[in-house]
C-alpha cells in the first residue's frame, strides 16, 4: 500500500494562510507571457521536488499517528496530510496553464497523475478544506479506537467509547475491540453470539454517518475544482481509460467469475443450513453473521462446516506454525524468504527495526495490515498485529509484495513511484502467495510430505472461500461509493442501497432488520478511511493472471493450483522488470511485460478453480432450491 493511501487531515491557520499565498503566487504567470512546452518541463521538475517532500513528511507523520493514536498525533498527522493535499491541489491548479499545449508524453502523463495523486480532493476554500480534513481524521480515528462494551445499555453513547467509566454501583465491564469481535466471528458456532458480535461492531459507524454526508459534499467540491464530475469519476480516471469504460471493464470481469461464485454460494448455503437449520434459507441470501467474517468478505473461517467429506487437506498450517512456536517476526521472515528465492534482495535492516509486528498492550493502534514506504527509497515497513495463523501467513506475503514493489520502482521519478494501476500493487503479493503450495511448504520444512492430488478439492475449497467469496464484495464497495459520490444514492438511503447491493452481488442479508439509523458501509475500514476499494477486486483477478503467466514461464505443465514459482530466478527477473516500470507507462504495457497480454482476463481464476467448479456443480445437483447464487 502506497503511503498516500492514509488520510488523516487537519490544517492550522498559519499553513492555511501560507498555502493560500503560495497558490495565488504560483498560479499567476509573473511575466504575463503565454507558457510554452519548455515551461512545463521546468514546472514539472519543481513540482516533483515539492511533491516528494510533502509525501515524505506525510508518511512519517501518518506512521506515528497510526502507531500512537492520541489527539496530538492526530493533529500532527492531519497537518502533514493537509500540507500534502494543499500541495498537490496547488500544483495541479498551476498545471492548468499548460492545457492545450503540445506537451511531451512524459510531462502530460505526470500532470494527469498529479491531479489523481490523492483520492481525497479538498476544496480550495480554506474553511471547507479544514472541515473536510477534520471529518476525515475523525472518521478513521473513531474507527481505530472503537470498542464495543456489550453489557452497557445499547442506547448509552458510552458504549461506543473505550475506557469509559461505568455508572455508580456498576461493575467494570469488559469492552471488546474489533480483533476480539473478529475472533468471535471466526470461532463461535452459536448463531446468537455471532449476531451479538456482528451487531456490536456495527455500532462503530452511526456516530459518523452524518459527517460522511458532509464529507461527500466537500470532497466532490474538491473533485469538481480539479475538473472531475465527482470523486467516483476521479477514482475511475486512474486506470488509463475513461471512467465509464473502467466501470464497464469491472462489470465484464465480474460476469466472467460470477458462475464460479454462484456455485460456491449455493454449496456453502446448503452446508450452513445443515448446521444452523432454518436460520439459513433454502433459497436466497445467506445471513451475514454466519460466514465467519465481520463483513462476509471471506469465508475461510467456516471451512470446518463446509469442507468436503473426503479429500480434505492433510495438514493444518495454523497448528503447524503454532507447534513450531513461530513468532511474528519469523512469520515475516517466511515471506521475505520467498522473494529472495526469486532473486530479490533481502529486506533492509531498518524494516526489522521500525516495523510494527504485534499489537502493543499499552496503547491503541490501527491494526489493519498495511505496507509503508516512508522515504520513497528503502525505508519500507510493515504495520500489522500479526497472529500466528494460516490467514496472516498469506497476508504477510501480500503486504511484502507491496514493499518489494515500492523498492523496485524507487529509482523512478516521484510521480511514477507507484504500481501500474492500484490493482497491480495488491496483486503482486497475492500472486506470490498462490505459490504457497504444499510442495513449497515441504521445501521450507513446514510439512514432511505434500498431500496427494486427491486432497486438492479440499485445498481449493479452502482457498475459494477466501478468493472467490471475496469477488462480489470487492466489486460492490466502490459501486456503492460511486453511486454516493454521483448522488444516485442520497444520504437518506445509504443503508438501504448498501444492502441492496450486498444482496444483488453477494446474495447475503443482515442478521436483523436494519434502518437508516445504521451506517453499515461505514463499519468497513476502507469507507471510514476513504481508501478506494476497486483495487482489491482487480487484484483478485490479476493475481491469477500473473500466476498463470509465471507458471507458464517456469515451464510448469500440471494443474495450475499445484504450481509454485518458489526458487525460480528466471521468473523472478521477469517479475522484477515489470515492477521497475512503476506507473511510468500505461498499465496494459506493464501487464504485457509480465504476461504477454494487454487485457485483464478472469479466465485464469476459472482455470485455477476448474476442478473445484466441477465438484461443486456435482454436489449442488442434489441440493434443493438452486437459485443461481448472486442475482
Q: Which of 95-99, 325-329, 441-445, 502-506 has the lowest mean pLDDT?
A: 95-99
pTM: predicted TM-score of the whole model, two decimal places: 0.83
Confidence of residue 613 (pLDDT cuts 50, 70, 90): very high
Backbone angles phi, psi at 378, to 5 degrees: -120, -5
State the pLDDT confidence band at 355, using cuts at 50, 70 and 90. Answer: very high
Per-residue pLDDT at 20 exceeds 70: no
Specify whether the CB–CB gap between 292 and 300 falls below 8 A. yes
Name the pLDDT band for 575 (thresholds 50, 70, 90). very high
d(CA 542, CA 540): 6
Q: What is the pLDDT of residues 163-213, one digit of tens each?
A: 444 444 444 568 999 989 999 999 999 999 999 999 999 999 999 999 999
Q: How far is CA 391 from the centre of its chain?
A: 15
- Whether 15 shows a pLDDT value over 80: the answer reads no
What DSSP line would sit under 313-331, residue for residue? -S--HHHHHHHTT--HHHH
* Residue 4 predicted with pLDDT over 50: no
Q: Is the pLDDT of residue 462 over 80?
A: yes
Are 399 and 369 contacting, i.e. CB atoms less than 8 angstroms apart? Answer: yes
For the stretch 237-266, pLDDT in tens is 999 999 999 999 999 999 999 999 999 999
Instruction: Tell me 120's DSSP state.
Output: S
Sign of CA dihedral 286, 288, 293, 298: positive
Handedness of CA 485, 491, 495, 497 (dihedral sign): negative
Using CA atoms, how far residue 20 sits from 16, 50, 145, in Å, is 6, 16, 34
The pLDDT value recorded for residue 7 is: 26
Catalytic: which of 500, 526, 589, 597? 526
Three-class DSSP category at 118:
coil
Position 368 scores a pLDDT of: 84
Average pLDDT over residues 127-133: 92
Q: What φ, ψ does residue 372 adopt, rounded to 5°?
A: -120, 145
The SS3 assignment for 581 reads: coil
Average pLDDT over residues 121-146: 91
Q: Check whether 44 has a pLDDT greater than 90.
A: yes
Q: What is the pLDDT of residue 35?
A: 85
Q: What grid cell was written down for 612?
A: 473445484
Res. 307: pLDDT tops 90: yes
Question: Would you call 176 helix, strand, or coil by DSSP?
Answer: strand
DSSP one-letter code for 198: H
Strand partners, 371: 382
Q: pLDDT-derived band of residue 158, with 50, 70 and 90 as boundaries?
A: very low
State the chain's mean pLDDT as an integer. Answer: 88
Half-sphere exposure of residue 37: CA atoms within 13 angstroms, side-chain side: 9
* Residue spans of beta strands (DSSP E) within 379-494: 380-383
Half-sphere exposure of 433 (CA within 13 A, CB side): 26
Residue 14's pLDDT is 31
In this prediction, residue 226 carries a pLDDT of 83
Higher-confidence position of 551 and 166: 551
CA angle 400, 405, 407 (to 5 degrees): 95
Instruction: Locate the DSSP E strands across 474-581.
Output: 508-509
Cβ 496 vs Cβ 480: under 8 Å: no
Hey, how many other C-beta atoms are within 10 angstroms of the C-beta on 448? 8
CB 122 within 8 A of CB 169: no
Give yes or no: 399 in active site: yes
Binned at pLDDT 50, 70 and 90, residue 42 comes out as very high
Q: Per-residue pLDDT for 110 more than 50?
A: yes
Q: Are 380 and 406 in contact (CB under 8 A)?
A: yes
Q: Which of 130, 131, 140, 399 is catalytic?
A: 399
Interstrand relation of 508-509 and 370-373 (parallel, antiparallel or unpaired): unpaired
Whole-number pLDDT of residue 624: 62
For residues 491 and 557, the answer to whether their CB atoms sit within 8 Å is no
Query: Which of 417, 445, 398 lies closest to 539 in space, CA to CA?
Result: 398
Decide if pLDDT at 268 tops 50.
yes
Judge whether residue 606 has pLDDT over 70: yes
289 with 198: CB under 8 angstroms?
Answer: yes
pLDDT band of residue 152 (cuts 50, 70, 90) is low
- Give the rounded percent of residues in the chain with a pLDDT score beyond 90: 72
| Res. 132: pLDDT tops 90 | yes
Give the span between the Cα atoms of 450 and 438, in whole angstroms.
5
* First CA to last CA distance, the chain: 32
Per residue, the 3-state secondary structure of 142-174, as one string, reads HHHHCCECCCCCCCCHHHHCCCCCCCCCCCCCC
The predicted pLDDT at position 625 comes to 53
Separation of alpha carbons 611 and 631, rounded Å: 24
* 289 a catalytic residue: no
**Residue written as grid cell 504476461:** 595
pLDDT value of position 134: 92
Amino acid at each position: 500500500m502506497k503511503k498516500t493511501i492514509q488520510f488523516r487531515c487537519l490544517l492550522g491557520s498559519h499553513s492555511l494562510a501560507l498555502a493560500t499565498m503560495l497558490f495565488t503566487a504560483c498560479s499567476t504567470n509573473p511575466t504575463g507571457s503565454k507558457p510554452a512546452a519548455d515551461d512545463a518541463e521546468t514546472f514539472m521538475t519543481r513540482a516533483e521536488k515539492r511533491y516528494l517532500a510533502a509525501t515524505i513528511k506525510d508518511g512519517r507523520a501518518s506512521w506515528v499517528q497510526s502507531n500512537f493514536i492520541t489527539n496530538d498525533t492526530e493533529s500532527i498527522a492531519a497537518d502533514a496530510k493537509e500540507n500534502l493535499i494543499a500541495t498537490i491541489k496547488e500544483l495541479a491548479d498551476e498545471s492548468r496553464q499548460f492545457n492545450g499545449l503540445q506537451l511531451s508524453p512524459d510531462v502530460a502523463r505526470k500532470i494527469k497523475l498529479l491531479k489523481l495523486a490523492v483520492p481525497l480532493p479538498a476544496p480550495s476554500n480554506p474553511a471547507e478544506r479544514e472541515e473536510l480534513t477534520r471529518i476525515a481524521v475523525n472518521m478513521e480515528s473513531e474507527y481505530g479506537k472503537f470498542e464495543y462494551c456489550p453489557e452497557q445499555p445499547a442506547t448509552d453513547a458510552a458504549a461506543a467509547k473505550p475506557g469509559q467509566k461505568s455508572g455508580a454501583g456498576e461493575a467494570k465491564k469488559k469492552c471488546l475491540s474489533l480483533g476480539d469481535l473478529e475472533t468471535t466471528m471466526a470461532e463461535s458456532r452459536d448463531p446468537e453470539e455471532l449476531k451479538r458480535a456482528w451487531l456490536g461492531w456495527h455500532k462503530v459507524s452511526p456516530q459518523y454517518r452524518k459527517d460522511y454526508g458532509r464529507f461527500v459534499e466537500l470532497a466532490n467540491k474538491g473533485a469538481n475544482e480539479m475538473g472531475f464530475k465527482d470523486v467516483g469519476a476521479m477514482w475511475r480516471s486512474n486506470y488509463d481509460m475513461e471512467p465509464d469504460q473502467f466501470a464497464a471493464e469491472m462489470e465484464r470481469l465480474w460476469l466472467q467469475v460470477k458462475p464460479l461464485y454462484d456455485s460456491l454460494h449455493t454449496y456453502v448455503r446448503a452446508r450452513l443450513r445443515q448446521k444452523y437449520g432454518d436460520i439459513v434459507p433454502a433459497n436466497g441470501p445467506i445471513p451475514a453473521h454466519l460466514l465467519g467474517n465481520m463483513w462476509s468478505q471471506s469465508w475461510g473461517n467456516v471451512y470446518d462446516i463446509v469442507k468436503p467429506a473426503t479429500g480434505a487437506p492433510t495438514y493444518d498450517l495454523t497448528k503447524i506454525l503454532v507447534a513450531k512456536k513461530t513468532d511474528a517476526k519469523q512469520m515475516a521472515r517466511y515471506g521475505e524468504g520467498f522473494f529472495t528465492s526469486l532473486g530479490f534482495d533481502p529486506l533492509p535492516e531498518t524494516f526489522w527495526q521500525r516495523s510494527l509486528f504485534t499489537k502493543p498492550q499499552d496503547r491503541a493502534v490501527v491494526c489493519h495490515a498495511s505496507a509503508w514506504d516512508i522515504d520513497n527509497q528503502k525505508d519500507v515497513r510493515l504495520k500489522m498485529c500479526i497472529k500466528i495463523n494460516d490467514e496472516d501467513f498469506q497476508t504477510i506475503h501480500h503486504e511484502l509484495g507491496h514493499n518489494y514493489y515500492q523498492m523496485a520502482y524507487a529509482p523512478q521519478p516521484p510521480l511514477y513511484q507507484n504500481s501500474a494501476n492500484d490493482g497491480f500493487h495488491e496483486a503482486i503479493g497475492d500472486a506470490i502467495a498462490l505459490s504457497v503450495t504444499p510442495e513449497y511448504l515441504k521445501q521450507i520444512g513446514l510439512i514432511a510430505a505434500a498431500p496427494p492430488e486427491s486432497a486438492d478439492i479440499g485445498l481449493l475449497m479452502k482457498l475459494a472461500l477466501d478468493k472467490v467469496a471475496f469477488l462480489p464484495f470487492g466489486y460492490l464497495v466502490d459501486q456503492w461509493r460511486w453511486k454516493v459520490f454521483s448522488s444516485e444514492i442520497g444520504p437518506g438511503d445509504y443503508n438501504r442501497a448498501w444492502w441492496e447491493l450486498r444482496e444483488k452481488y453477494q446474495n447475503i442479508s443482515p442478521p436483523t432488520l436494519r434502518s437508516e439509523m445504521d451506517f453499515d458501509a461505514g463499519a468497513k475500514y476502507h469507507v471510514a478511511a476513504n481508501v478506494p476499494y476497486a483495487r482489491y477486486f482487480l487484484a483478485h483477478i490479476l493475481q491469477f493472471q500473473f500466476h498463470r503467466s509465471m507458471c507458464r514461464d517456469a515451464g510448469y505443465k500440471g494443474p495450475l493450483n499445484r504450481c509454485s514459482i518458489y526458487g525460480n530466478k528466471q521468473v523472478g527477473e521477469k517479475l522484477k522488470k515489470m515492477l521497475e516500470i512503476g506507473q511510468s507507462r500505461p498499465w496494459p504495457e506493464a501487464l504485457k511485460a509480465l504476461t504477454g497480454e494487454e487485457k485483464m482476463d478472469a479466465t485464469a481464476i476459472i482455470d485455477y478453480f476448474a476442478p473445484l467448479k466441477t465438484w461443486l456443480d456435482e454436489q449442488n445437483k442434489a441440493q434443493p432450491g438452486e437459485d443461481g447464487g448472486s442475482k
